[in-house]
Structure 1
């Protein structure tokens, strides 16, 4: 199977990025031939996935004129393309003519701001990129004769773009919110040149080991060339386990996939002492007091390899210790979710010391971009958890040798199932005088999806002292929730619970359920800069790799049996004493789970061809 990525950028359609079989390409607006001031608006149209009879496209619009409270983008196709469904815009089509109008939640478009939306379409013959786009009737991507600015410059109009710290934050950068400077207006990122967003203008590494597992499944070739992260979940993984690829093998393969362009490889740093104190399925090999081993046998060897000049041309995105710091906030004392193991890790400080050490050592390498794990909205979205989490993250990033300069951003929803966006209800909705926060599902949370949570968390983190160029990642590998159970509109207004339960695309029994969830599907495909403040949608958890075993299975990886992976278990306080919703017959965490992979493809949203 082949998949191409094509794009009409703001200034040079010829600079479109094309992804071959070795990776997904992320297209972005290249260096400006004219200044942002002289181009009233720009549109980046990217075909992210094309299977010969259909395609998925992403559109990013940059407004260089006066601020708008509503917007409408129009274009015409030269072929017979037909849009079948879309998101983040109201899309209509008459013949070859397409109109995309804002949704109620994204009508505001600041001067210098950007907005992104996407859609699926079908076609036969050719799938040419539209030649002309208009924003509210004004033709975009055309110099209107104004003056000002040099190529790239501080406006963020270069290929590097901004991380999404400002109003823009999506493909092509923005005029204002970040500091610009030496951190990255260019399309570099290797050889010591740091960029604002390592995903913009770059392929992302396809793990050959995961790709082979995916391709061996019936229908798996449709996604076998998607980029997924490499998990370094024990010391032995650095040199390779049971004949598998070592870290150097992956980096060497990344260089081969990179070719003459840019490439980002994603590594999960995951071996803290007393790892995952609240979930036995993902316990690790190191004991609670093994901080010295973590430093000398795990982080130091990884840092030595990543700092090899041979790999200076790669962009290396590291996901730092999933679940660790959030556990200290919610499960280490004073609540009904407290566990003795988490109390121990908070008391000895080894989660905080270990994460700080990893940030310091890895952040010193110029082409490494550290993203700290920040749980998900169904974990930290309550007022009582949100602010303490920000304080915890700030503490760890400024002690034990670490600095906020060691932090490129944060990641939410790692290996979880929360949707990027709930399309049919929002946190501000009310039914019969009751806010949706009063529903059993939302349970007074401040958020109902990951993107709103990530953007709010980012703002609070910047206010707490993190750099204004901070970027967020969202793991979308298993949060698509397609299939026949997916709602097609808002639920009934007979009660607030009926409304929320009928509206939510997240079909889990409870938002606290996390292990091998029945009914889940592949989510948004990996995409760079999809929304303000979001560096990328990523597949950090490789689809098809188990969260944990359904029953106890002996192993030499330090991974235990967690009843939340048992479909017969009645639950605990962390999931409101509800059934787990876990799939049966699952293997040990990280091992291939064919039944789950098939389900994820079947329920993918956007759907697979």
Structure 2
């Protein structure tokens, strides 16, 4: 629901003809030198422009001998053009001269190979395209020049043709798609073929297998695909984007999930990067994702990024002095890994004209208290303005990601009283201000706007596992004996404690994905693919950096974060992201609305 718009620039493919003429929307005659004649490369320079700023994506193609390293150079035509920040290269600028040197992972370019790099820029009076590029010091000429020397005599002068030029404009590349208010509205969602195959491998799974679910990039290797992985799938990011085009999908959902010291208050979803690996996160994870998502091939596909679930709220609730405080959360708060990592991701990805960022905002059972909600929004804003980002790179927020909190509680309102006591005094609600995700999401949105976010932001709610149907679903309010009997008898969320998050027993599929379901809500979505485990119920050695968290152990008696309650987890679960057949069957059995 972001009302901010960006204008889009034209794609300009740059190359020299055999006579030394540069083609870039016009003709510029350049002398051909021996150095230029030996150059064999081409550069494609594509921009998305908006008032005062732009994103440039460049594709460098090596048409000559293999390279072990490269340096690209060009000059901005105007002094007001600046590189703000870049990716997939080491960028520098001196005056109007710009240099981009390869990163460690993309220096090798075989003959005929290409690499994509890019940057966010600013401009003042205008933003014309550079007219010449050099690679390793020599001018790119688009290919091998002719072996015969160019003519030394001027061409004969002839009268210009008397026929009028054509009145139709010359063809241009179609502009990248403008950002829309709601990327889900009127668009077909991408169905992950790998998840679809797993769902249809289960009895009755075809009833839900055509719903769009998100693709999780939970480690660096997932960008290019992990064929030997036991969790998620073998397809890489580009594979999924290509498949989305083949499906005719209007949008695809990608989970960006690999912060340094990831998930600092849990173990089941710990990541591969240590708390001090921010530079690796930028160069090896976000930069390659931005380069792929910025490929002009995907410009008409709405790419929706779910940014770093279970991250920033941890800095509010799970540091020293809190009931669930951990040393890792203290570390990533102190060194800025989460704030700067999220800011960097927002800046790189939000600058792309067809990309929409939704930042994770936890759920009502985590930050629904007065002491947590506004501080969480404030730290998200801190991240949204870090590492070169602005709040405009946040299109919205998502709540209940991979969680189980009920969408609505039909038989309990936070304003209810029993025998003169507010239901907020019940053990389940525990003085929270909210009882369900819809009211929480709508309130979060208003608070975010009040704290400086764009008034057009929208909310997403993950409804993949919060249906709570089946025979245990209440049909009316609980007994009015006490606030506890009233709340416990009437609540449809049947968890033992609202802090329980791992493979919850009794859960069901929730509302099916759809756009504009309620005021302020862009969509109900299935970001957590139903049937993928939250974590193993016992320790399982693996090479994916995924640990064992006792909250996934059905025999665990809890900790301060769940009121020292039983975990409520299902037994015999595999590691996070791996297929969990028993859970998928239970989710279908307890679906609400029920499956037909």
Q: How high is the TM-score relative to the length of structure 2?
A: 0.70
CA distance in 2, matches of 1:202, 1:234: 28
CA distance in 1, matches of 2:377, 2:392: 16
1:218-233 counterparts in 2 under 5 A?
218-233=203-218
Alignment of 1:203 with 2:203, yes or no, is no
Q: 1:290 aligns with which of 272, 277, 294?
A: 277
In structure 2, runs of 5+ residues without a counterpart are: 1-173, 229-233
CA distance in 1, matches of 2:319, 2:355: 31
Q: 1:559 aligns with which of 546, 564, 572?
A: 546
Task: List structure 1 runs of 4+ shifted beyond 4 angstroms.
Answer: none
Alignment of 1:248 with 2:238, yes or no, is yes
Mean Cα displacement is larger for which, 326-335 or 199-208? 326-335
Residue of structure 2 in register with 1:137 after alignment: none
1:374/1:411 contact within 8 Å kept:
yes
Residue of structure 1 in register with 2:330 after alignment: 343
1:374-393 counterparts in 2 under 5 A?
374-393=361-380
The alignment partner of 1:325 has SS state of coil
Matched residue count: 418
CA distance in 1, matches of 2:293, 2:323: 41
Please identify the structure whose Cα radius of gyration is greater: 2
Q: CA deviation at 1:190?
A: 8.4
Mean Cα displacement is larger for which, 330-339 or 518-527? 330-339
Q: CA deviation at 1:399?
A: 2.2
Q: CA deviation at 1:192?
A: 2.8
CA distance in 2, matches of 1:311, 1:245: 17
CA distance in 2, matches of 1:587, 1:399: 37
1:128-139 counterparts in 2 under 5 A?
none
1:522/1:600 contact within 8 Å kept:
yes
1:32-431 counterparts in 2 under 5 A?
191-242=176-227, 244-258=234-248, 263-431=250-418
User: CA-to-partner distance for each residue in 1:50-80, whole Å, 9 max, x for gaps?
Assistant: xxxxxxxxxxxxxxxxxxxxxxxxxxxxxxx
Q: How high is the TM-score relative to the length of structure 1?
A: 0.68
1:437-448 counterparts in 2 under 5 A?
437-448=424-435
1:378/1:512 contact within 8 Å kept:
yes
Mean Cα displacement is larger for which, 439-448 or 236-245? 236-245
Q: CA deviation at 1:335?
A: 1.3
Alignment of 1:493 with 2:480, yes or no, is yes
In structure 1, runs of 5+ residues without a counterpart are: 1-188
1:526/1:537 contact within 8 Å kept:
yes
The alignment partner of 1:590 has SS state of coil
1:427/1:446 contact within 8 Å kept:
yes
Residue of structure 1 in register with 2:457 after alignment: 470
2:405/2:493 contact within 8 Å kept:
yes
User: CA-to-partner distance for each residue in 1:355-374, whole Å, 9 max, x for gaps?
Assistant: 00000000010100000000
1:473/1:536 contact within 8 Å kept:
yes
User: CA-to-partner distance for each residue in 1:92-151, whole Å, 9 max, x for gaps?
Assistant: xxxxxxxxxxxxxxxxxxxxxxxxxxxxxxxxxxxxxxxxxxxxxxxxxxxxxxxxxxxx
CA distance in 2, matches of 1:399, 1:562: 31
